[in-house]
Structure 1
């Protein structure tokens, strides 16, 4: 009754108030923060103190950077007050609009602590309030009852629907308007009340053909709400059999991708009457305001066909009623429930909520690079998504709350090996076949100074010829640093070491940018033969890194020192050294030995001795490499008492340098006689040898002969136009080419065209021998072939150079 219903509402009023108070409390469930609020709260209403619940001090709230991360494309119902950390409503929340008939309505979102890079899951449960009144599908229902119907005849009435849940939904029905009928309400399996009209006593159409009744549906809210519908009962003539469906509920399951025009289900009802009263027509009746008009019922066959497209993500269940009515107005109703099965027709969505575009190569493992959220509109396994990154990259994905992932480094990075990364993140669902989505995060690795400069070699050896020019380039060094910019900018320096009596900085200088080493002074091999030092290469990092390399510089010798004769020593009073040779000496007797040294080294110090002049040619021999002067034959009485020998000492350099010394050998048997003879001997004037005169005459003769040949050749060319058939001129019955060869004359003259000098003051002639003769005996034949007198006359050497 109405009074019992009102008592139930008053009893439940206190329970609802308690629920509203408890809605502002929170608790942590499975690591998430849970709040409960009633629906229809004003915009800006307090939901909970998130800062306090997360343990964040309100004074440091600005430093922690709390912000809400919600799904893209969806309405944001909540906002975070940055001043006090309170969670507030930002939109009107209608539980029925958001969750429909769901038993629990929970809104989820995430809060990001940017300071800690940590996500927190937030759940807000929306508590239903009685904001919807019961409503009937239509405002009026016509019911036809045959006058033949007996007492207790039952006619189903339309049901009211209330969008609220629980106590706020429909709790009872009332029927008013006539005493011929009473209301029968039966409880269905799903807790829904089904009203029906029961005939209290038989009707008489002739007495009254129409009855107007009021059907009222009331919910249990506080205050309660109600809805009414008008029931018009028409009394018909006798039709004693109503159609009956062969099953009370038709349940079918279809896939969401079935095409338009497909037959979803077929309903069927039977009527035992005949004729018009047994002819059944089917009609579709909507039972909720959310009914989708995408199904068509064939009124004759009872086939239900699809006129639109199905989408599991929009609606997974379609429910409606069908009615079968015969020609006499009797009817029956049945319910059709169409369940939609999900297909994997939606690819996952990857949403990047946070990322950094650069990271230092010294960052530790586990550094957060990006935070992303993955979503899939499908359900079940089709909506289960797995995210992954390539295995060959030093990154991994860590799952945080809900469907959020953090992309972190899996190890240390090396910019020199890989300066940039294009990280492809793939989200793949578990459907069959699976669908996937990828997103690419570009990451640049910033350089740190973790590589010292490295030289191309472990040690260097260079060579420098002495007497170099000051400031000349000696060598260049190069080091490589795989770092970047300042960390790879190398500065070169020489580590100071003492070299001899002078510091190294007085000898060498290095270009700090290029590594080129220059000589500050000219090196002298006789002073320094080898320099060892270190070159340091240092980069421009902070702190800088450096490496050293050992360098050895060898000074190479030049022939810059002439031989120095130690014995016989040069005279200081103008006299020459005197050596004695007994007249009874046998061939090979050692007279003396010329001793010389050279400050150079190697071939530049390899000395050879030559006898360039002798009073008596062929009397003495000179060791080519020993410098020993020995007799080559027995001494004769006709040999001069005093023999003057000029010894030339020459090194093997290029060009060679030489020195000469005069050795006087006295032929005597005993020393006293020698002393007496020496006192009576005056130094003879050293006239030019007759051999020199003969050589000059020979050269002049050859020159004249050559000039004559040239005149004859010119004459031949002048008369060529008259005697063109002649190609050669005979002289004395033979060709001129056989008489004297041009090449032979030129070679002969060139072999004697040397620079000579004559020293008249000292009565001695100095000769420059072009090439050392390997024969140690000085003979007239040698003298005629290898010596030229030192004259300053107009010798035709410069003319011969033209040939």
Structure 2
């Protein structure tokens, strides 16, 4: 007999290993936790550092943080321990209403790599809500000749909790005339009904006072009550009847306020007051009464405030037609809201480098942002773009995230800052768009030396000038910014007739103004050749030179002298004519 294990070759374990690897990879990048509602702020949810394979100290070093599009942050990340904790008390009913599962999704961003990891936290229900009736007291009318077994509609209770913690049953106070029955609607809601067990006699008892109690299935059990006043009326033997048991209508969300949506029609063959019908909503929620209006006489339903597909996609309600004799009939109404393109796309900036060096390499990431559109279908599909004449481009990241990157080298002296317009447009008809501006400053590097307007300068000064007089001023411009553009001036070291030039002239290092340190004598110095150096304050500094020729102007400061003939020493005089000359 063949060994059953011999059927496994080398390929089978290899295939099993590959299958397990595929299943592991399919779950990678998604972290799931579960936490009950109403925990104190700071309660432990899970260890993100451990689940990401990081040490807690690496969280701050790598810039790990929570990224969420919602305005309210439900969770916080402890940078010391790496724990994910609650940022505040979480009310599951406020967050997810009566959905079977309440899931909160957000992303974990590792800033230094700009990698995103999805996190999903399920908020589990606790029994923190009592069953609640809309009204504390309710009047129910019944004809005194109603047959035994006649059902009477009662108000139903609502419990914001879900599952076993939600409404489970009703209980009626003890009496001999009525019993309690329960019916379940298609939506799972339990509806109580009074059932007449004994004939009524209005002349003996006109009003029966009962207590209706709603109980949930929590531990401990929570309950709510309402007082039922059964009003016994004289005979009215025909109940109203709707032409349909259920009415359905679909309307666009941008329909004008006040528009009639549909008309409900009920008939009653009785005459007079017993045949006059009044329409009303039965046990409606607040959002129904705030959104719709029911004409009590005509049965017309119209809007009293704008509809919003993104807020509510359908409305389920019940309408009651009651005659003057207290008999009534009910019909279901389902209003479906159709989406129109009424939400412009949104841009949420997640991470931004507000300043970038002009020597950054092409492909440098400038910003990370996400886009969102509240509409659905094509109305919610988004196209993202920036102007083509800029040295930047958009690159799709994970989910609905985009990177903004450089495409070529930047030059601060050409353009020192950018106002980048990010345009997001949906695919609706007509399309809606939103512009978001990203401001980027280009940081300077010291790549330009100071520049003089001219290659050389010359100036004149009369001799016998006062000491310290300003004789000239030079100015150099550096197109860089900050310290890289801060210019200082100096004279090149040189000598004239063995004396340092710095003993003749000085220069103000900040302004470039030159001053005479002494009084010039044309007969001694007729001109000086100077070199002025302008240096910036960069690291390393850059500089440039310019020549300055200083010419001394002669003044008539010397009287003529008679050199020949010499004056006689015996007191006689001699005269000789000579041309007058300043020299």
TM-score, normalising length: structure 2? 0.68
- Kept in 2: contact 1:385–1:429 (CA 8 A): yes
What corresponds to 1:102 in structure 2? 99
**Which of 253, 261, 264 is the matching residue for 1:264?**
261
**Which of 357, 364, 367 is the matching residue for 1:367?**
364
For residues 538 and 40 of structure 2, the distance between their equivalents in structure 1, rounded to whole angstroms, comes to 60
Instruction: Specify whether residues 302 and 161 from structure 1 end up closer, same or farther in structure 2 by C-alpha distance, changes over 3 A only.
Output: same
Q: Does 1:403 align with 2:397?
A: no
What corresponds to 1:141 in structure 2? 138
For residues 378 and 126 of structure 1, the distance between their equivalents in structure 2, rounded to whole angstroms, comes to 26
**Which of 11, 16, 38 is the matching residue for 1:40?**
38
Q: What is the DSSP-based 3-state SS (H/G/I as helix, E as strand, rest coil) of the residue aligned with 2:95?
A: helix
Instruction: Specify whether residues 94 and 357 from structure 1 end up closer, same or farther in structure 2 by C-alpha distance, changes over 3 A only.
Output: closer
- Kept in 2: contact 1:370–1:406 (CA 8 A): yes
* Deviation sequence 1:155-213 (CA, Å, 0-9, x none): 22211111111221111222232232222212222222222222224323334332222
- Kept in 1: contact 2:36–2:125 (CA 8 A): yes
For residues 30 and 146 of structure 1, the distance between their equivalents in structure 2, rounded to whole angstroms, comes to 67
For residues 425 and 201 of structure 2, the distance between their equivalents in structure 1, rounded to whole angstroms, comes to 71
What corresponds to 1:340 in structure 2? 337
Shift of 1:363: 4.2
What corresponds to 1:241 in structure 2? 238
Shift of 1:135: 0.9
**Which of 183, 207, 212 is the matching residue for 1:215?**
212
Shift of 1:364: 4.4
For residues 174 and 485 of structure 1, the distance between their equivalents in structure 2, rounded to whole angstroms, comes to 81
What corresponds to 2:438 in structure 1? 441
Structure 1 segment 511-660 matched on structure 2, within 5 A: none
Instruction: Specify whether residues 423 and 268 from structure 1 end up closer, same or farther in structure 2 by C-alpha distance, changes over 3 A only.
Output: same
For residues 367 and 419 of structure 1, the distance between their equivalents in structure 2, rounded to whole angstroms, comes to 17
Q: What is the DSSP-based 3-state SS (H/G/I as helix, E as strand, rest coil) of the residue aligned with 2:290?
A: coil
What corresponds to 2:563 in structure 1? none
How many aligned residue pairs are there? 441
- Kept in 1: contact 2:176–2:198 (CA 8 A): no
- Kept in 2: contact 1:345–1:378 (CA 8 A): yes
Shift of 1:271: 0.8
Instruction: Specify whether residues 289 and 443 from structure 1 end up closer, same or farther in structure 2 by C-alpha distance, changes over 3 A only.
Output: closer
* Deviation sequence 1:24-56 (CA, Å, 0-9, x none): xxx995733222211111111111111222222
Question: If each structure's helix is expressed as a fraction of its own residues, which one has the higher value?
Answer: 1
Q: Does 1:278 align with 2:270?
A: no
Q: What is the DSSP-based 3-state SS (H/G/I as helix, E as strand, rest coil) of the residue aligned with 1:293?
A: helix
- Kept in 1: contact 2:57–2:80 (CA 8 A): no
Structure 1 segment 691-702 matched on structure 2, within 5 A: none
**Which of 51, 68, 83 is the matching residue for 2:49?**
51
- Kept in 2: contact 1:28–1:34 (CA 8 A): no
* Deviation sequence 1:255-307 (CA, Å, 0-9, x none): 22222221122111111212221111222344334444342222211112222
Instruction: Specify whether residues 421 and 289 from structure 1 end up closer, same or farther in structure 2 by C-alpha distance, changes over 3 A only.
Output: closer
* Deviation sequence 1:209-261 (CA, Å, 0-9, x none): 32222222211222221222222222222211111222233222222222222
For residues 244 and 285 of structure 1, the distance between their equivalents in structure 2, rounded to whole angstroms, comes to 16
Q: Does 1:428 align with 2:425?
A: yes
What corresponds to 1:740 in structure 2? none
Structure 2 portions without partners, runs of 5+: 1-24, 449-478, 486-536, 542-583
Q: What is the DSSP-based 3-state SS (H/G/I as helix, E as strand, rest coil) of the residue aligned with 2:57?
A: helix
Q: What is the DSSP-based 3-state SS (H/G/I as helix, E as strand, rest coil) of the residue aligned with 2:164?
A: helix
For residues 138 and 234 of structure 2, the distance between their equivalents in structure 1, rounded to whole angstroms, comes to 19
Instruction: Specify whether residues 233 and 443 from structure 1 end up closer, same or farther in structure 2 by C-alpha distance, changes over 3 A only.
Output: closer
Give the CA RMSD over aligned residues. Answer: 3.5
* Deviation sequence 1:519-567 (CA, Å, 0-9, x none): xxxxxxxxxxxxxxxxxxxxx99999xxxxxxxxxxxxxxxxxxxxxxx
For residues 304 and 483 of structure 2, the distance between their equivalents in structure 1, rounded to whole angstroms, comes to 72
- Kept in 2: contact 1:157–1:197 (CA 8 A): yes
Structure 1 segment 64-83 matched on structure 2, within 5 A: 64-71=62-69, 74-83=71-80
- Kept in 2: contact 1:343–1:378 (CA 8 A): yes
- Kept in 2: contact 1:119–1:400 (CA 8 A): no
Instruction: Specify whether residues 416 and 206 from structure 1 end up closer, same or farther in structure 2 by C-alpha distance, changes over 3 A only.
Output: closer
What corresponds to 2:519 in structure 1? none
* Deviation sequence 1:475-523 (CA, Å, 0-9, x none): xxxxxxx9999999xxxxxxxxxxxxxxxxxxxxxxxxxxxxxxxxxxx
- Kept in 2: contact 1:265–1:305 (CA 8 A): yes
Instruction: Specify whether residues 30 and 137 from structure 1 end up closer, same or farther in structure 2 by C-alpha distance, changes over 3 A only.
Output: farther
Instruction: Specify whether residues 263 and 450 from structure 1 end up closer, same or farther in structure 2 by C-alpha distance, changes over 3 A only.
Output: same
TM-score, normalising length: structure 1? 0.50
What corresponds to 1:115 in structure 2? 112
What corresponds to 1:255 in structure 2? 252
For residues 388 and 30 of structure 1, the distance between their equivalents in structure 2, rounded to whole angstroms, comes to 31
- Kept in 2: contact 1:364–1:412 (CA 8 A): yes
Q: What is the DSSP-based 3-state SS (H/G/I as helix, E as strand, rest coil) of the residue aligned with 1:228?
A: strand
* Deviation sequence 1:50-73 (CA, Å, 0-9, x none): 12222221233331222223336x
What corresponds to 2:174 in structure 1? 177
Higher relative contact order (Cα pairs below 8 Å, separated by 6+ residues): 2
Shift of 1:119: 2.9
- Kept in 1: contact 2:172–2:213 (CA 8 A): yes
Larger Rg: 1
**Which of 382, 385, 389 is the matching residue for 1:388?**
385
Structure 1 portions without partners, runs of 5+: 1-26, 452-481, 489-539, 545-803
- Kept in 2: contact 1:39–1:94 (CA 8 A): yes
What corresponds to 1:126 in structure 2? 123
Instruction: Specify whether residues 401 and 33 from structure 1 end up closer, same or farther in structure 2 by C-alpha distance, changes over 3 A only.
Output: farther
Q: Does 1:200 align with 2:197?
A: yes
Instruction: Specify whether residues 29 and 249 from structure 1 end up closer, same or farther in structure 2 by C-alpha distance, changes over 3 A only.
Output: farther
Instruction: Specify whether residues 440 and 290 from structure 1 end up closer, same or farther in structure 2 by C-alpha distance, changes over 3 A only.
Output: closer
- Kept in 1: contact 2:211–2:226 (CA 8 A): yes
For residues 484 and 330 of structure 1, the distance between their equivalents in structure 2, rounded to whole angstroms, comes to 87
For residues 352 and 176 of structure 1, the distance between their equivalents in structure 2, rounded to whole angstroms, comes to 60
For residues 403 and 447 of structure 2, the distance between their equivalents in structure 1, rounded to whole angstroms, comes to 28
- Kept in 2: contact 1:95–1:127 (CA 8 A): yes
For residues 440 and 387 of structure 1, the distance between their equivalents in structure 2, rounded to whole angstroms, comes to 13
- Kept in 2: contact 1:252–1:337 (CA 8 A): yes
Q: What is the DSSP-based 3-state SS (H/G/I as helix, E as strand, rest coil) of the residue aligned with 2:394?
A: strand
Shift of 1:93: 0.9
- Kept in 2: contact 1:278–1:326 (CA 8 A): yes
Structure 1 segment 647-686 matched on structure 2, within 5 A: none
What corresponds to 2:467 in structure 1? none
With 217-226 and 309-318 compared, the bigger mean Cα shift is at: 309-318
What corresponds to 2:320 in structure 1? 323
Shift of 1:445: 5.5
Instruction: Specify whether residues 212 and 486 from structure 1 end up closer, same or farther in structure 2 by C-alpha distance, changes over 3 A only.
Output: closer
Q: What is the DSSP-based 3-state SS (H/G/I as helix, E as strand, rest coil) of the residue aligned with 1:92?
A: coil
